[in-house]
């Protein structure tokens, strides 16, 4: 059984929940990170987490803990002043109060450009495919941000 709803949020219309603790739990796993510098071309980083999260008092999987998650980023050094990146993450199937929910993936794309020695501009798009986890009927307990476009500057002072 999941956590029962304590009501509806009048601002959003979504159900509200109060977390409950379990009497005894065990969380164990392994995380691996691999990276490769690709000379003057770029850098690749990949991370995988394998998780075994159990509610020992009820002998079942803990809710909202995916067994697998994978993330990675490829940074491409276009020129000495320009860098682009493609970043992705995959969240595996998991158990929630709604039952077993599907895995999902998200990707971001962006880059930076050195305008001056101490001034950079950066821009990009997060969640390119606008993957959504905010529909209460889908059962996701974590709401991912919708697609967003950003532009910013950074200065080294």
% of the chain exceeding 70 in pLDDT: 97
Which positions ≥6 away from 111 have C-beta within 8 Å? Answer: 78, 82, 83, 84, 85, 122, 123, 124
Instruction: Work out the average pLDDT over 41-47.
Output: 97
Is the whole-model pTM more than 0.75?
A: yes
CB-CB neighbours of 69 under 10 Å = 19
**CA dist 45 → 81, 96, 140, 143, 145 (Å):** 21, 30, 27, 25, 23
What token pair was written down for 72?
A: 């990675």
Query: For residue 1, is pLDDT > 50?
Result: no
**Phi and psi torsions of 137, nearest 5°:** -70, -20
What token pair was written down for 110?
A: 């962006």
**What are the percentages of helix, strand and coil residues in the chain, rounded to 5?**
0, 60, 40
Q: What is the DSSP letter of 146?
A: P
Q: Tokens 């709803």 identify what position?
A: 5
Q: Tokens 């002998």 identify what position?
A: 59
Q: Tokens 């998780």 identify what position?
A: 51
pLDDT per position as a tens digit, 108-139:
999 999 999 899 999 999 999 999 888 777 77
Instruction: Work out the average pLDDT over 83-103.
Output: 91
Ramachandran area for residue 56 (φ above 0: left; ψ -120 to 50: alpha; else beta): alpha
3-state secondary structure (DSSP) of residue 16:
strand
The pLDDT confidence band at residue 4, using thresholds 50, 70 and 90, is low
């Amino acid at each position: 059984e999941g956590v029962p709803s304590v009501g509806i949020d009048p601002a959003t219309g979504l159900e509200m929940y109060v977390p409950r603790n379990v009497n005894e739990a065990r969380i164990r796993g392994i995380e691996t990170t691999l990276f490769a510098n690709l000379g003057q071309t770029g850098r690749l980083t990949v991370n995988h987490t394998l998780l075994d999260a159990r509610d020992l008092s009820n002998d079942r999987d803990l809710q909202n803990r995916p067994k697998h998650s994978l993330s990675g980023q490829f940074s491409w050094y276009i020129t000495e002043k320009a860098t682009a990146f493609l970043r992705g993450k995959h969240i595996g199937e998991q158990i929630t109060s709604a039952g077993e929910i599907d895995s999902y993936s998200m990707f971001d794309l962006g880059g930076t450009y050195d305008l001056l020695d101490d001034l950079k501009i950066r821009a990009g798009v997060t969640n390119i495919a606008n993957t959504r986890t905010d529909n209460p009927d889908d059962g996701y307990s974590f709401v991912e941000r919708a697609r967003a476009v950003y532009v910013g500057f950074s200065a080294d002072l």
